[in-house]
Amino acid sequence: MLGPHADFIIASYALTAFVIAALVAWVVLDYAAQRRVLGELEERGVSRRARSEKE
């Protein structure tokens, strides 16, 4: 079906699939990591807003 140059075709599709899988893994794992750290900071009572009056 893929002829005498099947190796080149299969290698192209395999490499593309690997790079796309790596990109998807990167965004998914990075999202989970950022959500986890944000959750930990919020649990410790840290806010993004500066406090308006000194304690």
Partner 1 sequence: MALIDLANPTRFLRLVNPLLPWLAAATAVLFAVGLYRAMGAPDDYQQGATVKIMFLHVPAAWLGMMGWGLMSVAALGTLVWRHPLADVAGKAAAPIGAAFTFICLVTGALWGRPTWGTYWVWDARLTSMLVLLLLYLGVLALYWTAEDPGRGSRAAAILSLVGAVNLPIIKFSVDWWNTLHQPASIIRMGGAAIDPSILTPLLIMAGAFTLLFFTLHLAAMRNEILRRRVRTMQIMEAQRFAEAGA
> Could you write out the DSSP letters of every residue in 1-55?
--GGGHHHHHHHHHHHHHHHHHHHHHHHHHHHHHHHHHHHHHHTT--SSPPSS--
Verify binding: residue 12, partner 1, rule CB under 8 A: yes
C-alpha span between 43 and 55 (Å, rounded): 20
Verify binding: residue 1, partner 1, rule CB under 8 A: yes
In this chain, which of 22, 43, 52, 53 binds partner 1, going by CB under 8 A?
Answer: 22
**Site residues (CB under 8 A) for partner 1?**
1-6, 8-9, 11-13, 15-16, 19-20, 22-24, 26-28, 30-31, 34-35, 37-38, 41-42, 44, 46-48, 50
